[in-house]
Structure 1
Amino acid sequence: MSGDHIRNTCAMWTSPRCGAETRSGTACRAPALHGKARCRMHGGARRSGAPKGNQNARTHGAFTRDSAAERRQDREVLDDALKLLGELSLIAE
């Protein structure tokens, strides 16, 4: 009798699929978790991903606006100094 049972799998096959790309380059065929765009294996699991207000990228401060502005200003000063040295070397010749 167990071989005669037909499973109703329509809901599973019509559910949204995971949007992740597999190692072989094809799309993941697993169903996405409710309210998420990924399956449980590709980041849809509860408490997965970065925490809210993630500050991990700023642990050393290299990517803050202040340090980027400081690097830009340093580059401008160096460019001006190189230009001045080039002008001085032309005068000395």
Structure 2
Amino acid sequence: MQPKPSRKPQPPRFPCQARTRLGHLCKSPSMPNGRCRMHGGTNPGAPKGNRNAWKHGGRSRETIEMRRKIARLNCEMRDRLD
């Protein structure tokens, strides 16, 4: 049986900087942002502005205008064929 490979020494982790309701520090190890995974999270949130509301562009102003033009052209073509 071979011995287990030794792990690399981990850098020291400082405690999370979040405070409890009693005023004590959280005892979990912190991430680079100074908070633990429960208090700091890995996701900074949605992008600023309305860019995060854009899904596919099917209801954008340009698409709606283009659909109206196509509908108008279809009506004109039907009228000319009759």
Scaled to the shorter chain, the TM-score interval is 0.3 to 0.5
Higher percent of residues as helix: 1
Give the structure-2-normalised TM-score. 0.38
Give the structure-1-normalised TM-score. 0.34
